[in-house]
Structure 1
Amino acid sequence: MEAFVTTLLLTAIVQTGDRSQLLCAGLAMRFDRRALLIAAVAAASVAGAAIAAIGGQVVGDWISRDALSLFYALSLLFAGLGMLGWRRPVDLLQGWRIGPFFTTLFGVMILQFGDKGQFIVAATAARSHDALWPLLGGATGTVIGLIPGIVWQDELARWPLRPVRIGAGLCIAALGILLALSAFGLV
């Protein structure tokens, strides 16, 4: 259950002001089909979290406990640092003519593939030697993190996302550093 809760919280936080959230806001303005977009986000989140969780569980069987601790710490450190960096502009997929569900499904899957949240899910699955709880936590956290983009679309631009991203990024990076030092036996 710890794997579920930590993965849910971390993946929801790292979505704040992220390109995926902004893509969801743009697609919600374009299509105005909130329930359908949320369903597509849920499907994309489950698929991405499943890939990450299964991969993490496989990796977890191959490496030592200390290496797993370091892998988890680095996933948090890089997620936190990723929240501090500059983001490229979001392509709103205007040229895609495959409907609101599939545009959202594939757009979110592409943006999420190899993203911060997936590494957190993989590292948690590797560390816990369980794919189910990190998968469920990661998928749920991603959906929770992306729904504000769909529901509040244009209001999202007025929210102070940058300070929130910086604060959360610094906290997550600091936690990653602390866990890395612990993995090396320095704390």
Structure 2
Amino acid sequence: MDAFLTSLFALALAEIGDRPQILCAALVIRYGKATPILWGLGLATALNCFISALGGSVVNQWISEEPLRLFYAISLIFAGAGMLAWRRPVDLLEKWTIGPFWTAFLGIFILQLGDKGQFILAATAARTDMWAFAAIGGWIGVMIACVPALVFQEKLAQMIPITRIRQFGGVIFLIIGGVMALSAWGIL
């Protein structure tokens, strides 16, 4: 249950105001219908979460507990830095003509490859034998962050303080990651 909740909350926070959320809103505005975008988001995220968690489970078998804790700490530090740093504009995939589902599925899947959420999820799964719970929690977390963008589109930015949430989340990830890293090195 720890892996499930950790990945759920971490990914929900990490994805607020991130590129997949922005792309979801833009695609709904472009195509005028949320259902195929929701299916594309759900499938792309499920596949990505499965790959990340499975990769983490492989790492679990190779590495002892202290390096795994450091791996998790580094994933949180990078996530925090990423949330605080400037991010490049999202490619809205306007030249893609493969329909709403495939544009959402492929666009979001590609955006999530190598993203902070993928590393957090892999690190979470690496610290447990229940990697499937980490994958499910991560999937739900991303969906919690992105589904409101499907419903509210650009109004979402007016309804919630996305910049403040990203700043708060970034600081929280940096603090937790820093403490965990110092602990893994035996400093704390």
In structure 1, stretches of 5+ residues that fail to align are none
Q: Look up the SS of the partner of 2:86 in the other structure.
A: coil
RMSD: 1.0
Asked whether the equivalents of residues 61 and 129 of structure 1 are also in contact (C-alpha less than 8 Å), the reply is no
Asked whether the equivalents of residues 83 and 169 of structure 1 are also in contact (C-alpha less than 8 Å), the reply is yes
Query: Which stretches of structure 1, 4 residues or more, deviate above 2 A after TM superposition?
Result: 156-160
How far did 1:85 drift? 0.6
Paired residue type of 2:100: P
Task: Name 1:11's counterpart in structure 2.
Answer: 11
Q: Look up the SS of the partner of 1:156 in the other structure.
A: helix
Task: Name 2:22's counterpart in structure 1.
Answer: 22
How much identity, in percent, do the aligned residues show?
47
Task: Name 2:155's counterpart in structure 1.
Answer: 155
Residue 167 (str. 1) matches residue 168 (str. 2): yes
Q: What do residues 34-66 of structure 1 show as CA deviations (whole Å, max 9, x unaligned)?
A: 122112111011100011011111011111111
TM-score (norm 1): 0.97
Q: What do residues 118-141 of structure 1 show as CA deviations (whole Å, max 9, x unaligned)?
A: 101100111113320111011111
Task: Name 2:41's counterpart in structure 1.
Answer: 41
The whole-number CA distance in structure 2 between the counterparts of 1:66 and 1:78 is 18
The whole-number CA distance in structure 1 between the counterparts of 2:96 and 2:88 is 20
How far did 1:32 drift? 1.9
How far did 1:156 drift? 2.4
Task: Name 1:181's counterpart in structure 2.
Answer: 182
In structure 2, stretches of 5+ residues that fail to align are none
Task: Name 2:59's counterpart in structure 1.
Answer: 59
The whole-number CA distance in structure 2 between the counterparts of 1:102 and 1:30 is 14
Asked whether the equivalents of residues 55 and 122 of structure 1 are also in contact (C-alpha less than 8 Å), the reply is yes
The whole-number CA distance in structure 1 between the counterparts of 2:157 and 2:26 is 11
Q: Look up the SS of the partner of 2:153 in the other structure.
A: helix
Q: Look up the SS of the partner of 2:96 in the other structure.
A: coil
Asked whether the equivalents of residues 121 and 135 of structure 1 are also in contact (C-alpha less than 8 Å), the reply is yes
Residue 107 (str. 1) matches residue 107 (str. 2): yes
How far did 1:172 drift? 1.2
Paired residue type of 1:121: L
Task: Name 2:121's counterpart in structure 1.
Answer: 121
Mapping for residues 65-104 of structure 1, pairs under 5 Å? 65-104=65-104
The whole-number CA distance in structure 1 between the counterparts of 2:103 and 2:11 is 22
How far did 1:184 drift? 1.4
